[in-house]
Each structure stands twice: as C-alpha cells, then as structure tokens.
A and B are shown apart, each in its own frame.
Chain A
C-alpha cells in the first residue's frame, strides 16, 4: 500500500502574526495544512493519508478535517513526536497498527507547510520509491553555497553545479526505513536532520526527484506574505 505522511508536529509560532502554529494559518480561503492535505487526496495512487500533529493540536486538527469535509475514511491523524523523524516513526506505527507490516508499503513524507507541491512531484516520488526504495525531492541551487565551519569565515565553496536544495516529499520503502533506522547508533540518530540521511548513512542510494521552485516552505513572515500574494489572499502587516 502507499501512504501519504504529512508532517505537522511543530507548534512553532515564530511568525509573530498569529498565536497558532503556522500550518494552521489561513492561506487564501483555508488553512495551509488543508491545502496540503487536499493535494494529497487528489493523488489517486495514495491509499491513505496520515497527518502527524502535536498532541495539543490533534483535537483542533480533527475539527479542521470535519470543517473542510475531508474524507475521514482516507485521512487519519497520528500523534506527532518531539522532532520530524519521531513524528514520521509515530505515523509509521499508526499505519502498521491499522494496516500491518509489509515490505511493500511505501510512505510519502511531506512538510505540511509546502502547500504548493504539485501532483507531478508526488507521483514521481511514488514511482521512484517503488523502484529504488528511497528518494528526495530537490532543485538545483541557483545561489552559490558557501561552507563555514566556524560561522565566521568561509571554509569551502563547492561547485554550484553539484549543489541541490532539498525539498519534500521524501519517500521510502517503509520497512527498509525502519530497519536502517534501528541499525543506527545513538550518536548517528542525534545528528539526523532528515529521514533521507538514514539511507545515506548506510550507503543506500537515494534518488533525486526534480522539485519545483514554486514548492516553497512557508516558515517565515516573508514566506507567508509571498504565499498569500501568489494565491491572491489577504495580506497582514
């Protein structure tokens, strides 16, 4: 089976525009997270969609799903974890509880604050995960990336042509993801910034799916204003 996993465990309110986590803020006529879930609902290859939400916000999320009449036979809520990866593994546990373990299960993980993701990207993630076991959506870097070890001076300037910017979805064979994660040392687990690194650390190939510059992550006030402008929504100052 193929599962969507929308990661929405954060409770950050750093936008300073609102007291609610950013994924619940309105973008045009509906909350950011609803736009994202709806795009996943329109992917006919996905069997079920799980949304990982912080335990303090699960009731709110339940209400939102009902308010926007999203199909409760297709969309389910799982309790989020302390960070991104633990939310993903909580979702995996919720999936296996209802659908069992299988080496054929595919999970398409996605940031809830990337509502502009296209169906092409989601479909290619699924195809790629089925074929290779793991993939990461990414775009070529248009900026030069500089490396600084001490945050004060440049220690390296890699060739821009080899630099990509990671986006989501990131998609995996679910049992392989679990197996590789269980084999990591505690030290390795502590430096994980995203799930693809679990495969990378064990020398497993992670294919790149071509992302899109429009697949922005809404994390700052300026991101939010830009997103509102793109969809013709109301701007707040």
Chain B
C-alpha cells in the first residue's frame, strides 16, 4: 500500500512523500486527532540549531495522536478499535532497572524519524494503547499526559515521603496536566502552582493555592517541586525553587531550555536537594495516563485547555494549524483528514 507522509523539509515547508508499507508490518493505524507540541512548533518555525535541523529534517512532525486501528496483522486489536500511539521506539535492549524512554539507542518519532503526520501509521503492537470512554479529540493529548505521569512516577520513587506540599513552577499546559496527575496520584498532598500569567493561573481552580512569581509569600515553602517553565523561564523557576524548597526536597526538571542555565549550587548543597531530569514516557505511563483520563472530572479539566482547530485536509491546512497554535494559550488539537 502506498502511504502518504507529510514531511517538514525546511522550516515552514511541508512536502508529501510516498512510501510502500506492507499490511504485515504490525498494527496499521489511521490517525484521527493530533495535538501540537512546542517541540513541533520549534522545528516548524526553525527555532532549533541549524545543525540539528540539517540532521533531523526532512521528517513528519507530531508525536501526540489518537487513531483507529485499520488493520492488525498481529491480531492484537480489531479494526475500528480506538487507540493512542506511542512515539517512543525502544532499542530492543532492555534492562529491568532502566526506563524505556532513556535507552541509549531509543528512537523518538518526530525527532529525527517521521512523526504521525501520515495517512497511516504502522507500529509494533506494543506501541499502541487502546482506550474507551474518552473522546478521540481529548485522547490525542495522552502522550502529553503520559509525560506528566512518568514524572510523577519517578518522583514517587526518588523523593522522601514527607509530601505535605508540592510546588509546580510554570503556568502552561504541562503544569496544568501535571497538576491534574499529581492531584490524582497524591491526593493527600497540597498542590501549589507558581506562574507569571494571572489569567492562566485562574485555570488552576482545582489546586490548593496559586501565586504569581513576583508575589510569592515570604513564609511560602514546599517539600518538593516540579519545574515546568522551560525556555528563558527555567533560570528564574529553578532559582525560586531552590529558595522556597525545604531541605532534602526533590526537584523534578521538566521544562526544555535551548540555552544553558546558571544554577545556585551553593544552596543545593546546603539543603541537600535532589535534582531529577524527566523527559518523555514509556508504555506503562501511557496505560496509567489513559486510566487517569477516563476520570470524568479530569476530562472536564483537560477539555478546558484544548483548542480544537478546524480539520486538516490539505498541506495548506497544516500551515494554518501551526499559525493557530502560536495564538492559543494551551494545547491545539485538530482532526486529521489527509
């Protein structure tokens, strides 16, 4: 079968490529809804280092996607079954102590390999997770939710058990999703969110407290913290975290920064803090993410940070989606009809 693949060949330029795929290559999925990630937008806008762009392009963008099984030669799923797609492709060498998403030779679809902007996507059966009772539109952000689940899971294993208050620095989509995941995973902990944008913070109505970064109370303290600011904001967020966190707290770093960041190591040492980098996710995180997303109140909250753009039927529409995404405060999702 000749598959249509829509690749970014240069920043702002999408081109169709045609590839033969066999029906016996695992599970063949028809993508239904997709969500735009900042990483896709950075490639699309050419905001990555020129050497990186040269190395990774051309490739199809998008790694957040829900779809429908069109054909499954492994007989694991039935045609028409709703699934979410896992962009992480493990190297095949697994060690029980290692998470699949940190493997040395792991591949990630939409980072050097074609992402999900394809007519059909063929994946091994273990790279697909079925779902029910979630709309396909919402299910498209399951990868995003799984990243938060992964961080929460690592946090539960590496942090000390005194978790009266957990702080989240950042007021964007990642913080919002993480706050939901932490609320479900650690129901006895208080969640505080620190951000810059007052109107965005108002969306976090379900957490215990919110503060703007320029107005944090003097006596404010957290036992542990998650950094979700990313970019230029990472420096200020990490600096604040070191100031307000209690001794021996764990700091989960989740925000991506293109530039190197100065860190106050003196106070890290003095307080005995633990810093953990957390990125991407694996199959078990997707399975947990789907479970959390099946909870009705979580669905309602996540629905409030989704902007559904018009469907994509042409390359022109792909350009429209990336333009729309620049003007939406949270997540842009769209129906894929190419």
| A interface residues (Cβ-Cβ under 8 A, vs B) | 27-30, 35, 38-39, 41-44, 69-70, 115-116, 118-120, 123, 210, 214, 230-231
Contacts and interface: CB of A to CB of B under 8 A. Distances in A.
Given A120-B313, A214-B4, A231-B2, A41 B71 contact: yes
Interface of B: 1-2, 4, 16, 18-20, 23-24, 28, 30, 68, 70-71, 79-80, 119-120, 313, 337-338
B18 A230 contact: yes
Nearest to B17: A230
B18 A44 contact: no
B335 to A, nearest CB: 11
Nearest to A117: B2
A169 B70 CA distance: 20
Contacts of A69: 23-24
A39 B1 contact: yes
Given A38-B1, A214-B4, 15 more contacts: A28-B20, A35-B20, A39-B2, A41-B23, A42-B23, A42-B30, A43-B70, A44-B70, A70-B23, A118-B4, A119-B30, A119-B70, A119-B119, A120-B313, A231-B19
A115 B120 CA distance: 15
A236 B30 CA distance: 34
Nearest to A214: B16
B4 A30 contact: no
B143 to A, nearest CB: 23
13 contacts: A28-B20, A38-B1, A42-B1, A42-B28, A42-B30, A42-B70, A70-B23, A116-B2, A116-B18, A118-B4, A118-B119, A120-B313, A231-B18
B332 to A, nearest CB: 21
B20 A42 contact: no
A134 to B, nearest CB: 22
B2 A115 contact: yes
B18 A214 contact: yes
Nearest to B70: A42
B27 to A, nearest CB: 12
| List of 9 A-B pairs having minimum Cβ-Cβ separation, nearest first | A38-B1, A42-B70, A28-B20, A44-B80, A230-B18, A44-B79, A35-B2, A39-B1, A120-B337
A119 B120 CA distance: 9
A38 B120 CA distance: 12
Contacts of B28: 42
